[in-house]
Amino acid sequence: MLEILERIVDGKGEEGDIDLLLELADTISATALCGLGKTAAFPVVSTIRSFREEYEAHIKEKRCPAGSCKKLMTISIDQALCKGCSKCARSCPVAAISGKIKEPYTIDSAKCIKCGACIGTCPFGAIKEG
């Protein structure tokens, strides 16, 4: 189960994974030898019950609505809010942000490691993740 979940948060989830998880959880809850084993799958079942659309977003759109799956997260600069102060570019540890002073900056998502350091430095709240 863990391997399937990890696959999903890595953006490699496949159609049918949710059903497979539910089937697995059902088998484990019904047949496990110990009480701990019987309940081990419950968190997965309840998250699927309550947040099924989030699972689907991960699998189908390769998107994490809550913004907590690093591999699925993108950080971008709102071009309308950015004043081109360069603070974010200076804070970036991998030099993924570039641009001209007083013009909107951009993030190279191939270079970005999603550390989020830039978000806190922006005085205008122009950098968003999701």
Can you state the percent helix, strand and coil of the chain, rounding each to 5?
A: 50, 10, 45
Find tokens 């399937």 and name the residue: 4
- In the complex with another protein, the residue whose CB is nearer, 38 or 114, is 38
Find tokens 């971008």 and name the residue: 76
- In the complex with another protein, the residue whose CB is nearer, 12 or 128, is 12
Using CB under 8 A, list all residues that contact another protein. 3-4, 16, 20, 23-24, 27, 30-33
**What is the closest distance, in whole angstroms, from the C-beta atom of residue 49 to another protein in the complex?**
20
**What is the closest distance, in whole angstroms, from the C-beta atom of residue 39 to another protein in the complex?**
15
**What is the closest distance, in whole angstroms, from the C-beta atom of residue 22 to another protein in the complex?**
11
- Whole-angstrom Cα distance, residue 109 to residue 26? 39
